[in-house]
Amino acid sequence: MNLNLNHLHLHVRDRDAAERFYSAWMGMKVERRGERLTFMTDAAGFELALMDDQAPGAMPSWFHFGFKLPSAQQVTDLHGRMRASGIVILKPLYQDESLVSFRCEDPDRYPIELYWEAPGAGLD
């Protein structure tokens, strides 16, 4: 059996702002929008559920989720555009021969890693 993670559910204070963020920066589009819940999807079929919640619980300090980009250059380009647009950068751009990454936060302060890694890259 081959299972792939394909769904993430987040509680958000301002669903419209979250939809705009994930659409503009992550290339997601709204598939379904209900009274309290929006499902967004990307080209690969990953679904992001955004639910209205005026007081979402705090996440652990180590928590984050990530979006893998096809090239190192796309990561550095996105980093530059996000910085220029005032998106909060939580971890600065890191680059070596096998990994390029940074972390930003969404409108609800969820930490997001944007990264590229070389095929077969080892762990440190």
What are the tokens at 83? 């910085």
Domains of the chain (ranges plus CATH)? 1-54 (3.30.720.120), 64-119 (3.10.180.10)
Task: Supply the pLDDT for residue 57.
Answer: 86
Task: Supply the pLDDT for residue 89.
Answer: 98
pLDDT in tens, 9-39: 999 999 999 999 999 999 999 999 999 999 9
User: Distance between CA atoms of 42 and 26, rounded to whole angstroms?
Assistant: 8
User: Distance between CA atoms of 29 and 41, rounded to whole angstroms?
Assistant: 6
The whole model's pTM is what? 0.89
Partnered with residue 9 across adjacent β-strands are 49
* pLDDT-flagged residues of the chain (< 70): 121-124
